[in-house]
Every structure is written in structure tokens, then in C-alpha cells.
Structure 1
Amino acid sequence: MWPQEVLALSRRWLLVTLRERLNLLFSVLQPAVWLVFFAGAMGGAVDSRVVGTGDYIAFAVPGVIAFTVVGNGVTAAMPLLFDKETGYLDKLLSMPIRRSSLIVSRFVFQTVMNAAQVLVILLVALALGVRPASGAAGMLVILVATGLLTLALTAAAMALACAVPSHGTFFAITGFASLPLLFMSNAFVPLSAMPGWMEAVARVNPLTHAIEAMRLLVLHGWSGGVPASLGVLVLAASLLLVLGSWQFARQTAERIA
């Protein structure tokens, strides 16, 4: 059955990760280190009137979460890329399993990994004195926003992994696009502080809407802007998922043929 296929393939990703426990440990802890050092260092140099709060660490928490998801979105597609290059993907496609289970299993695994990292970030933020205005329920909604952003970026990265001829091209494109994607959002500065052209780009960036929802929950609590931002994020995730699924189906159909 399809759920069993997804769980079995997700278990494969988990076993691969557990074999490199030191890498797993640093992957989970690294975002918290970014929060401590980056936000701590930048806090004294940022005008509180610009960011709208005197607690820059609280302001930066959603940005660090988005930074983490961007990096993980790239790495999420790497196993598929290497499976394609080594021929293991062809072996999987020859098995009596649905092709959708291959991509869905990666989404499931990546969502769980990102949730673990986000929980560590939030715990470190609590230790540093950040108190989300929306409380524990707001932290759950932050996890939902993270899951939607994970879905969007993982789908985009997997579509790219299917389309490019080699891992060299994949890393060249993602290396070129990752930082502009992050910095053309409101991850570390508000939209009002950006030049007009950059603000216009940032407003159509899915990261901006994910960060906006999380930042409102951290700094201001429940407000009308949270559902609106989450709605845009759902739309972006849906479109990228359709694109990723179509590209994966097209490429795998050619390999089967």
C-alpha cells in the first residue's frame, strides 16, 4: 500500500542519516549557533526603530528558521540527485511502487528534520529570554509555517535536481540562488528598510510571507496578518509542489521509457 511505501522509503532516509551521527548532531545544532552568534552580534548594530522592537534576537528568530529551511531545501534534493547519477533511482523505478512515494517520502523525512531543528532554535531563543507573544499555540503554528515552507523549497529543489544533467550544475544554480532568495526577503531587515525594487521582489518571495507569519506570532501575537501570510504560503507551496511533481513525473517517465 502507498502509506507503507512512503514509510519504508522515509525509513531509508532516516537510516542513511543515522549512519553519520556526528553530521546529524551538527545539523540539528547549527541553526541555534547561528541564532546565538549572528543575532547576538547584530543586535547592537541595528536601530530598534527600524526593526520595530528592541529585542533583535526575537526579530531574528524567524529569519534564522527561514535560513535553515533554505539550506535544508537544497540538501533535501541531493539524495535524489545522487540516486539519479548512480543509477539507483532506476532500480527504485523498476520496483512495484508508486513514483509519488519516492518524492513524498522525502518531504516527510525533511519536514521531521526541519521540525527538530526549529524546536532547538525556539528552545535556545527561550533560553535567551525570547517570549513568543502568541504562547505555546503560536509555536505550533510556527511549526506549521515551517512545514509549508519546507514543502515549497524542497519541491523546487527536487524539480531542479530532476531537470539538471549533473550535480555540478545543481550546486552552481543553488549556490547562486540561495543567498539572494534569503536576503531578498524580510529575514533580517524589515521591508520598509529596503530599496523600492528590492521590496517589490521581497513581496513575491514565499520566504517573506513565512517569516512575516512567524514574526507576528513571536513579536505581536495573534493578528489578522498571520492567516493572510499563511494563505499566501499555502498557495506558493501548492504551486511549487505541482511544478516539482510534474517535473519528477516527466523525468522518471523518460527514464522508464
Structure 2
Amino acid sequence: MIRHTLLFLGYEMKKAFSNPIWPLFGILQPVLYLVMFAPLLRPFEAGGTMVEALRTFTPAAMMMIAVFGSLFSGFSMLAELRNGSLERYAVSPAWRPAIVLGRVAKDMVVLVVQAILVLVVAMLMGLTIGALELVLLLLLMAATGLFASSLSQAMALTIRDENGMSQTLQLFMLPIMLLAGMFIPINEHAPGWMQALAPINPLFHAVEAGRAMFAGELGDSAIPISFALFAALAVLTLTWSMRSLRKIAG
């Protein structure tokens, strides 16, 4: 089980870094968001300082990495569906769930690299965070990324069409980002109807939990709520993706 998962992880990592320009772009994008967007939040903060702006935007940027960096990973599976290689993997002696778990594990590795880079840049800009808060934030990122990656694999195996999958993701991406308060905190600056809708969005709770961690408020209710939500969602989407893979194998 573990051996097969590690084999698929190594295969996916080799594919991901066979052309290093794309992983590099994926890592640099959140850094550019941090450097170019965080300063725009200073007028919205009570003290108007860069550190306060970083405390607001850095956890949101990390959750953006966790979700939207993993949501598109299923497109590579569509290419393997088309050329028939995925069916060969599915009927091979390999442990079938390892096909999905290896891909998800690859996304987790990329997330860790991106998260460390974003945190280093944020700290160079003046942000500080405690060790416990940092560990909790990385764990929440992992749970969020696990959900997004397994959801992407499940969608690819169910929809089996790039255009359909792309249109579905694009339809929901903008409202999810805005209702999560990624760019501007919902509870402080959004109209009442958006504040009422925001708690329906699981990502809202993850962003609020990240901001509470950066502020050192470990007793904030958003933290256990977000962990529980994304743990449950990750289990559901992983189950969905594995069942979809079984159907392909017949």
C-alpha cells in the first residue's frame, strides 16, 4: 500500500519537475500576490501598517495556494484518460487507491514548498508568527489542499472533459474567492448580504482561522470549525475519486 503510493508519488514528481518552468511559475505566483497586493490593504487596516496588512493577507494567500493550486491538478489525469494510460494503471496489480493518493501527495509536496516560500517572503517584509501557530496553519493548509486535490481528481474522473471541467471551475472560483474574504475581510468591509452568505463557504472559515492564528488568537472558534470542515470534505472527495477510478477499471 505505502510502497505503491510512494511509487506513484515519485512518478508524479518526476513529471511535475520534468519541465521546471511550470513549477517555478506556480511557486512565484503567490509571492507576487503577497508583494504586490498586501500593500494595497494598508489603508483598510486600523493602524495602517504593513505588518497588519500582512497578517490579513498572508493567511489568505496561503489558503489561495492550497485550494486553487490543487484544483487544476485533475487536468493531467484527463490527458492520461484520453491516451489510455490511466486504464492500464487501474487494471494493473498496483493498489488502486495509490493512483489517486500519489497524485494528491505530489500536490501536498508542492504546497509545502510554496507555503515556505510565501512565509519567508512575508517574514522578510516584517511579519512574525509563533511556532505553534505556524504548525497549525500548515496542517490546515494540508487539509484544505487534500480536499481541493482529491476534488479535482474526482471531477476529472467524472466529467472526463477539459472544457466541461474548466467551465465548472471558472464558474465557482470567483464567488468562492470573494465570499472567503481572501482579498478584503468579509466581516469588516462587505455588505450585509455577503456577510450572511460567507459562512456557507468552507474556505471562509479556513481564511478566518488563518487570520486568527497569525493574530495569536488560538481560542477562535473558526480554527476547530475549519479543521473539522476540511477533514470531512477531504474524506468525502477522496472516497468519490476512488469510486470513480473503480468504475473506469470496470
Partner of 1:243: 236
Aligned partner of 2:174 in structure 1 is: 179
Q: 1:52 deviation in Å?
A: 11
Contact 1:155-1:240 within 8 A present in 2 as well: no
Cross-structure match for 1:75: 72
Q: CA deviation at 1:53?
A: 9.0
Q: Is the 8 A contact 1:213 1:230 kept in 2?
A: yes
- 1:7-53, Cα deviation, whole Å (9 max, x unpaired): 0000011100111112222221221111001112x134x32249999
2:211 paired with 1:215? yes
Range 150-159 or range 162-171, more displaced: 150-159
Aligned partner of 1:126 in structure 2 is: 123
Taking the TM superposition and a 5 Å limit, the aligned residue runs for 1:145-160 are 145-160=140-155
Alignment RMSD: 2.2
CA distance in 1, matches of 2:11, 2:81: 16
Deviations 1:106-156 (A, max 9, x none): 221111111110111110001111122xx1222121111110110122222
Does residue 1:230 correspond to 2:223, yes or no? yes
8 Å contact 2:209–2:222 — kept in the other structure? yes
Aligned-partner Cα distance in 2 for 1:81–1:217: 37
The number of aligned residues is 249
What are the superposed Cα offsets for residues 156-204 of structure 1, whole Å, 9 maximum, x if unpaired? 2222112113111111111221121111112122232222232222112
Q: 1:95 to 1:154 in 2, by over 3 A?
A: same
Q: Tell me whether 1:253 sits opposite 2:250 in the alignment.
A: no
- Structure 1 equivalent of residue 195 of structure 2: 199
Aligned-residue offset at 1:246: 3.6
Q: Which amino acid aligns with 2:84?
A: G
TM-score (normalizing by structure 1): 0.88
Which residue number in structure 1 is paired with residue 91 of structure 2? 94
Alpha carbons 2:151, 2:238 under 8 Å: kept: no
Counterparts of 1:129 and 1:252, CA distance in 2: 46
Q: CA deviation at 1:256?
A: 2.3
Q: Distance in 2 between matches of 1:73 and 1:63?
A: 15
User: Residues 52 and 194 from structure 1, CA distance in 2 versus in 1: closer, same or farther, beyond 3 angstroms?
Assistant: farther
> How far off is 1:240 after superposition?
2.5
Give unpaired runs (5+ residues) of structure 2. none
Distance across 2 between alignment mates of 1:246 and 1:136: 33
Could you say what secondary structure the match of 1:74 adopts?
coil
- Find the counterpart in structure 1 of residue 18 from structure 2: 19
Counterpart for residue 28 of structure 2: 29
Aligned amino acid, residue 66 of structure 1: M
Report if aligned partners of 1:70, 1:178 keep a CA contact under 8 Å in 2.
no
SS state at 1:130 partner: coil
